[in-house]
Structure 1
Amino acid sequence: MACAGPEVPPIVAVARELRVARGELLPGAEIVESSSGTFGLGLTLAGNVHGHPVTVVTDPGMEPDMHRLLRAQGARVNIVTTPHPGGGWQEARRLRVRELLADRPGAWCPDQYANPDNSGAYAAPARELSAQLGRIDILVVSVGTGGHSAGISRVLRIHVPHLKVIGVDATGSTIFGQPARTRLMRGLGSSIHPRNVAYDQFAEVHWVAPAEAVWTCRRLTGSHYVSGGWSVGAVALVASWAARTHPTGTRIAAVFPDGPHRYLSTDEPEEISQPGEREAVRWTRCSRVAAPVQEADR
């Protein structure tokens, strides 16, 4: 089983060159995009190099360390405060992006959810995998915007027509038809349906819960000295299952999309002032304890 995982999405460089060539991204124009962190950081780094100010629209779930890193790199961070009733935080962020674009003539949004340059940018990593591994029987890949899963699988399938692609999604994600719920994990899953998802490429999909992903991350670190975040743990869990359940000699490639640095602050609890302030969806601390008021007690 082999693993690969670029830290900064290839779409950042490829999309800019294409959009500049097509006249869509003007010199010095502002870039505005929705992101949970990693893609926004890549856009910010590219903006610094090529002279484009960057505004990253995110939500309260962004880790404090990623927030600080984006600001340190010069990005403006715009935070939505209320989830969309149907599309959750992602749809709320997309709507805010539209508002900002309307107020800022000349600004440009890469639209990672529907931009075909997203998947096209992953042709190079796919060719690298093919050159290094030769035959690949199974590709295990997480799914978020759908960019890297579509781009890598389509190129690999040219060389390996029998390729089996296993998608890894998060519980609470609606990408593959499950109901959208509040999601703790970042980096995979979605509360909307990204147009870049290549459904025809997948043989099956697995949904992984946060505790299972974290448990696998810790096992990887302790046994193989490999560290990563939510999506790495989820992908590794499913890839391990695939290795156990398929015949000996099956060659499995698993894409590890991120590192652990942005998740270190999740080892501390969030704070709420009273139990009913908001729903606890991760480790949360409250120093005020009282018996819930029942209707019958009133």
Structure 2
Amino acid sequence: MTLTAVRPTARPELLTLLGGTPLVRVTTDLPGPHPGFWAKLEGLAAGGMKARAAVSMLLGARARGELPPGATVVESTSGTLGIGLAFAGQALGHPVVLVGDTELEPSIRQLLRAHGVRLELVDRPAPLGGWQVARLDRVRELTALLPGAYWPDQYNNPDNTAGYASLAAELIARLDHLDVLVCSVGTGGHSAGIIGPLRRRWPALRLIGVDATGSAIFGRRARPRVMRGLGSSIHPRNVAYGAFDEVHWVGPAEAVDSCRRLALGSFVSGGWSTGAAARVAAWAARVSPGAVVATVFPDGPHRYLGTVYDDDFTEAHGLDPAAAATHPVRIPHPHAAETTGWMRCDRVHDPLKAPPHPEGNP
């Protein structure tokens, strides 16, 4: 089997489709009443939210001479960045080879291939780091096998972050004021990319990060996760740890409950990241009456019809929306005892730089 993908003819006119997504007011009970928050519907963008980052990373590499015209792009994906890279590859004329895993939804596999991507799937998680590390190991192998191939390294590439300057500008253009920003965190790109410009406009702006239970990003122990699209088994260097005022870890039951409530009460909804961010944004609006709260819905609901919106899936995984937590449990530091539901902590540090908490890791 050939490893290369078909080289597309560059379609720079596609770049006019980037961004420009709607900003809507959400007042649906999540899970109870709240004053409402603003949501940027990035799932309605061509290529999704991460098309912004994908285009930025490829243009940055081209400007530095790291990505010759027509060279192959190789990257790992759990789905969302893959769609963004498929968009960027078509717009800029680069074949794209992606490494997913066997938990990648069939609908996303079909969509990526329809867009001309060469997709490889790893079939077993790494002993340490799970699917994420297994995918990255294969990316390194492919990069060595394909002459001139370029690996964007989304987790550590500053151009990922830079790609979201346009998102920040769109929020500034639409909002008169902003007190609290809620961002899901995976690679750390969009939270780091928009908080700088937004704080220059509103210096007192608070940033709340939303992570997944079982994620290692903010110093918790990595565990197998049902949710995809947020959280990580590694520590991405794009995460702007010093910018966060607090972090919430949200479980899959809470995300499912929020997604379904959004779909029923607001029509706009999405997947794991959207459900988790929405729940925390509603909480922030509820505990800070009068504050203007905004968040980003990274994607729409369609790829999650067999998971988040499927009763058989949620029952098989023990995810009962009716039993989802209605408020977060505050923990004193990220290394506090393991829990599986919704938690929050206002002590945020880089786990690779800060000394361990005196009480130690669990």
Q: TM-score range by the shorter chain?
A: 0.7 to 0.9
d(CA) in 2 for partners of 1:238, 1:37 = 23
**What residue is the counterpart of 2:297 in the other structure?**
256
**What residue is the counterpart of 1:63 in the other structure?**
105
Cα drift, residue 27 of structure 1: 1.2
Q: Say if 1:65 and 1:265, in contact at 8 Å, map to a contact too.
A: no
CA shift digits 1:46-89 (9 cap, x unpaired): 21233211111011221111011011111111111121222111
Cα drift, residue 265 of structure 1: 2.2
d(CA) in 1 for partners of 2:164, 2:303 = 23
Q: Say if 2:49 and 2:298, in contact at 8 Å, map to a contact too.
A: no
**What residue is the counterpart of 1:143 in the other structure?**
185
2:86 pairs with one of 34, 44, 52: 44
Equivalent residues, number: 273
**What residue is the counterpart of 2:160 in the other structure?**
118
d(CA) in 2 for partners of 1:49, 1:165 = 33
Cα 1:282–1:24 change in 2 (3 A) is farther
Q: Say if 1:64 and 1:265, in contact at 8 Å, map to a contact too.
A: no
Cα drift, residue 281 of structure 1: 5.1
Cα drift, residue 95 of structure 1: 1.0
Q: Say if 1:235 and 1:255, in contact at 8 Å, map to a contact too.
A: yes
CA shift digits 1:72-127 (9 cap, x unpaired): 11111111112122211111111110000011120001111000001111111111
Cα drift, residue 282 of structure 1: 6.9
Q: Say if 1:37 and 1:62, in contact at 8 Å, map to a contact too.
A: yes
**What residue is the counterpart of 1:169 in the other structure?**
211
d(CA) in 1 for partners of 2:88, 2:254 = 34
d(CA) in 1 for partners of 2:227, 2:173 = 32
d(CA) in 2 for partners of 1:196, 1:134 = 28
SS of structure 2 residue aligned to 1:211: helix
Percent of aligned pairs with the same amino acid: 58
CA shift digits 1:229-261 (9 cap, x unpaired): 111110111111111111x22000111111111
> What is the one-letter code of the residue matched to 1:210?
P
SS of structure 1 residue aligned to 2:214: coil
**What residue is the counterpart of 2:53 in the other structure?**
11
CA shift digits 1:130-169 (9 cap, x unpaired): 1211221000110000000111112111111111100000
Deviant stretches of 4+, over 6 Å: none
> CA RMSD of the aligned region, Å?
1.5
SS of structure 2 residue aligned to 1:4: strand
Counterpart mapping for 1:282-297 below 5 A: none
TM-score of the superposed pair, with normalisation by structure 2:
0.73
Structure 1 unaligned segments of length 5 or more: list them.
271-279, 284-298
d(CA) in 1 for partners of 2:258, 2:128 = 31
d(CA) in 2 for partners of 1:70, 1:170 = 25
Counterpart mapping for 1:231-242 below 5 A: 231-242=273-284
Counterpart mapping for 1:160-239 below 5 A: 160-239=202-281
**What residue is the counterpart of 1:89 in the other structure?**
131
> What is the one-letter code of the residue matched to 1:27?
P
SS of structure 1 residue aligned to 2:98: strand
Cα 1:101–1:8 change in 2 (3 A) is same
d(CA) in 2 for partners of 1:234, 1:134 = 25
**What residue is the counterpart of 2:173 in the other structure?**
131
- State which drifts further: 182-191 or 3-12: 3-12
Structure 2 unaligned segments of length 5 or more: list them.
1-36, 43-47, 320-362
Q: Say if 2:183 and 2:209, in contact at 8 Å, map to a contact too.
A: yes
Cα 1:282–1:105 change in 2 (3 A) is farther
Q: Say if 1:182 and 1:281, in contact at 8 Å, map to a contact too.
A: no
TM-score of the superposed pair, with normalisation by structure 1:
0.88
Q: Say if 1:175 and 1:190, in contact at 8 Å, map to a contact too.
A: yes
Q: Say if 2:156 and 2:238, in contact at 8 Å, map to a contact too.
A: yes
